[in-house]
Structures are given as C-alpha cells and as structure tokens.
Amino acid sequence: MGKRDEKIEQYTAEAKKLGLKLSPDLISKVTVGLGPSIYKKDSETIACSQSSELETVKKNFLQKKLGLTDDDATLDAAIKKVCEEMGSSNRNKYRALFYALLTQAFKKESIYA
C-alpha cells in the first residue's frame, strides 16, 4: 500500500468516526486532487480559527476549483457550516474531508468524476 492509499484510508476512517456522510470514492478523488499537500502537516489540515486560511479555501477551492459564483456570504456560511460539522474541538480538520464536504454541499461531485 502506497502513502496516498494510507492517507485515503486514514481520512475515510476519520470521516466515519466524525459521522460525516461522505462516500469513500469522493474522499479518494478529493485526496488525489490535493496532490502532495496531504503529506505536509500544515497544509493537510484547515484551521477554522484563521480567517486568512478560510479566505484561501473560498478563493482557491470554492471559486477556482469548483467554479462557484455565489456571493461571499453564501460561501462563508458554507465554510462555517463545514467547520461546525467537523467539530470545533477537532484539531484535525483534514483538508481532504473539508473539501469533500464543501463539494457535496454545493453538489459539485461531477468535478471529480
């Protein structure tokens, strides 16, 4: 098993533990799409307390990757909802799961087809 497969397994187990309704297939595709960032501790997770990081998620993922044109308030609300869904006390908000939840929320799974 390669390193990427181990990460996918880890994220799938974490999603189950948190009770997130994500398909292993979507988790796998989002993880592959993240490339080498999943191997760096700092870029592997998302800090919901850092507004600059949340802004980056909005601009680089929601607007660029998913192609969303919703207003900032809508996008910010979706990001906030995912932060809450993953748990405020959860220190490991894995980027792959975070992005998978956002992808699902905006029904953009087809991007990872």
Domain boundaries of the chain, sorted by first residue: 3-112
Work out the burial of residue 90: count CB atoms within 10 Å of its CB; fewer than 13 is exposed, 13-18 middle, 19 or more buried: middle
- The mean pLDDT value of the chain amounts to 95
State CA 78 to chain mean position distance: 12
pTM score? 0.96
pLDDT tens readout for residues 26-39: 999 999 999 999 99
CATH assignment, 3-112: 1.10.238.120
Would you say residue 84 has pLDDT above 90? yes
As a dihedral over the C-alpha atoms of residue 102, residue 104, residue 106, residue 111, rounded to 10 degrees, the angle is 100
